[in-house]
Structure formats: structure tokens, C-alpha cells
Structure 1
Amino acid sequence: MRDLVELFSLGGFVLPILILAAILALAIVGNRFWVLRRARVVPQGLVERVADMVEAGKLPQVVKQLYENDTPLARILLVALQQVGQPRDAIKEAVEDAGRHEMAHLDRYLNFLGSIAGVAPLLGLLGTVFGIMHAFAAIGAVGMGDPKALAGGIAEALITTAAGLIVAIPSLLFYRYFRGRVEVLVLATEKDVLKLVNLLAGGKS
């Protein structure tokens, strides 16, 4: 514990900022892992059940089931059902508009995570600059004869550089992963929704 406190003090004012950034990044990663599960976005078999009930003329039951499901796919399917009797282009346009809103929810916080990945190395570099400045200030005060006088500045430079990279690298990896995850889920959603659009428009499902 004492070593951690000493390490924290050697990191200068930049290290607490990087620690805060790391905490925020961890919170976003945990949240996105929970939200971007396939079962929470594109429940398996939902569109097939909805299509069967629509073909059986059970629209009230379909609406009730979609309200209870409360997933992005269910909300988009509900919008499609509200356009029953409209031309295919009208149904598709309404569905695409609903899809854009749901896409925004899936993308939530990802831009901030990407910003952390981009800013953390710069904060580390800033800490490095201040550490070197402190080292040169120590040289100016006591000369080169006392290595201990330089240790504080050098430690600050190294600690903040390492901390910036430690925060940035995982943040960037998770940012890329979640971006890819969102794209996969969006494609799966579009595929399922299109089946119902074709059915409602009188085409093949």
C-alpha cells in the first residue's frame, strides 16, 4: 500500500487524471459487454414467431409480445407492424428511421471510449514533458552530482508514459471490438427485420 501511495505521488498531477480515465473506460467496457449481448439486441427466433403470428392474423398478440420483449429488434418490428397496409417503401423507410435510433443506443459511450484511447497517450506525453522539466530544474538547482535530485523528475516521466499507454491500449482494443460487435448486430437486425417487411408488403419472408 505504501508503495502504491509513493507511486501515486511520483506520477504528478497527470497520473490521477489517467486513473480517472481508466475507471471511466472500465465502466464503459462493462456496460457495453452487458448491453451488446446478442440476446438483448437480436433475440433468437423472435422474428420467426412474429411472422407465424402475423400470418395467423394474431396482431394483438404480436404487439403484446413485442412490448414485453423490449429489445431493439422488438421495437423495430413493432414499428413495422404499425405500418401494416402501407407500401413496402413506406414500411422500409419507417423501419430504417427506427433502426437509426436503435443504432444510436448501441453506439452509446463508444465515442467517449475512443476519445479516452486517443487522449490517454497524450496525457502520458504531457506527464513525460513535465517530468523532464522537473529533472532539468533539479539539475539547475544542484547540478549533476546528486542523482537523487533527478530521480523524481525521471520517475514522473516514466510513470505517466507507462500509465498513458496502459490506459490507451486496452481502450482502443475494446473500442474496435465493440464497433465490430455493433456492426454484426446491426446486420443481424436488418436481416430479421427485412423478413417481416417482405411479409407485411406481400413479398416472400
Structure 2
Amino acid sequence: MNLMLILQAVAQLPTTTPVTSEKTETMFDIVLKGGWILAPIGFLLLLAVYVIIVRSFELHKSSKTKNLVDKIAPMLKEGNIDKAITVCESSNMPIGEVLTCGLKNLGNPVSDIKDSMEAEARQQVDDMSRGMNYLAIISSVAPMFGFLGTIFGVIKIFYSISLTDNISIGGISGGLYQKMISSAAGLLVGIIAFSAYHILNGRIDRIISSMERQSNQFLNLLRNK
């Protein structure tokens, strides 16, 4: 009888569920723990994004699929050089500038026209490649900055251990994961810059191939004239 009363009393007791509180951090909070080294890495990221946007926009304009030689060939046969020059100048394409240079040198030997067009083509390639060296530098330097931040963090951790003479796995891993953030950030920026550098260079190479093809077509047109 007493046992039954005890069991009933226990059954009527309020049940409580242990509450475990875990401190969660957002990704932004974790990134902020990367340290001061994230400032130069962030600057490199902004610079890379700026170069990528500007170069992509310029190369998009320069890579329009137009064969200007086919367009100006009838004008050359008619002797309408001024109209051909106007068409090339209004194309807003590197090949347009190269052909304009050739048209303005008509009357000179074909070899001289070719030399002037090659000089203009080199100038156009330099213009298209402006800022690309920054992407190459960022792709190498950004990971180094990240690794440097991690090294500084490790030095700080071991210095703290030497002062307190207390080795704690939690303390080491907690501080180390924060410092690894700089390495991850540097690698991410480096990957972005490296990928963009090669993608944009591929587009430049295709434009150069088109310029060479149309330039040769133009010179052959002059030789057969």
C-alpha cells in the first residue's frame, strides 16, 4: 500500500527537461575573428572585383562578332575611303582602330601599312590587358597574407601558453580556428583572382586571333586590288 502511494506521488511530480544552452555564432561573427589581416585581404578582394568588372565590360564591347573587312570591302572597291574609315571608327572595337590605321596609310607600300597596323594592334592589346597584372599579383599575394595571419595567430597562442604555463586543448583549438579564417579568406580571394585572370586572358586571346585574321584579310584585299 505504501509502495503504491509512493509511485502515485512520483508520477504526479512535474517533469523537467534539462536545458542545454549552446552558444552559436554566425558566419559573420566567425569572419570578424580573423583579425586585422582581413583588412588588406578585403582590400585585395575589392581591387580584384573592380578589375574584373571593368575588364569584363570592356572585353564584352571588344568581342562583338563583326567582320569589318567584309563590311568595308565594297567601299574600298568604290574608292570611298572616308566612309570606310567612319565605319571602322564607329565600331568601337580594337580591330576597328587597327583597320582605321591601315586605311589612313593607304598609298604607302603594303609592307609599311602592315607595320603601322601591327603597331596599332600592339597598342590595342595593351589597352585590353590593362589591370590584368593586378589580378596576377592578387592571386599570389592574397593567400600569402592569409597564411601570414595564421602564423601570427599561432605565435600568439604559443606565447600565451608560455605565460600561463597552462596547455588546454580547448584554448589552442579555439584560438587556432579563429586564425585559420585568415588563411581561408586569402585562399578564396586568390582563387577568385586566379580564375578571373585566366578567363579574361582567354577572351583577350580570342579577340587577338580575330584581329589577326581580319588584318590579314585586309592586307590580302590591298594586294589583290
TM score, norm. by length of structure 1: 0.89
Q: What residue identity is the alignment partner of 1:29? A: I
Shift of 1:142: 2.3
| Structure 1, 102-111 or 45-54: larger mean CA deviation | 45-54
Separation in 2, partners of 1:52, 1:139: 82
Instruction: After superposition, give the CA deviation of every residue in 1:99-141 in whole Å (9 maximum; x if it has no partner).
Output: 0100001111111001000101111110111010111122122
Separation in 1, partners of 2:201, 2:104: 30
Three-state SS of the structure 1 residue aligned to 2:90 is helix
Identity across the alignment (%): 26
User: What aligned pairs does 1:91-106 form with structure 2 within 5 A after superposition?
Assistant: 91-106=113-128
CA contact (8 A) 2:142 2:189 kept: yes
Q: Does 1:136 align with 2:138?
A: no
Cross-structure match for 1:185 = 207
Q: Does 1:120 align with 2:139?
A: no
Instruction: After superposition, give the CA deviation of every residue in 1:64-86 in whole Å (9 maximum; x if it has no partner).
Output: 22222232111110000011111
Separation in 2, partners of 1:145, 1:187: 62
Separation in 2, partners of 1:18, 1:203: 57
Instruction: After superposition, give the CA deviation of every residue in 1:154-180 in whole Å (9 maximum; x if it has no partner).
Output: 134310111111111121111112122
Three-state SS of the structure 2 residue aligned to 1:36 is helix
Shift of 1:148: 5.6
Q: What residue identity is the alignment partner of 1:48? A: D
Cross-structure match for 1:21 = 44
1:9–1:137: structure 2 CA closer, same or farther, 3 Å change rule? Answer: farther
Three-state SS of the structure 2 residue aligned to 1:69 is coil
Separation in 2, partners of 1:30, 1:114: 15
Quick one: which of 74, 85, 95 aligns to 1:63?
85
Quick one: which of 174, 182, 203 aligns to 1:160?
182
Shift of 1:28: 1.4
Q: Does 1:203 align with 2:190?
A: no
| Higher Cα Rg, which structure | 2
What is the aligned length? Answer: 201
CA contact (8 A) 1:21 1:116 kept: yes
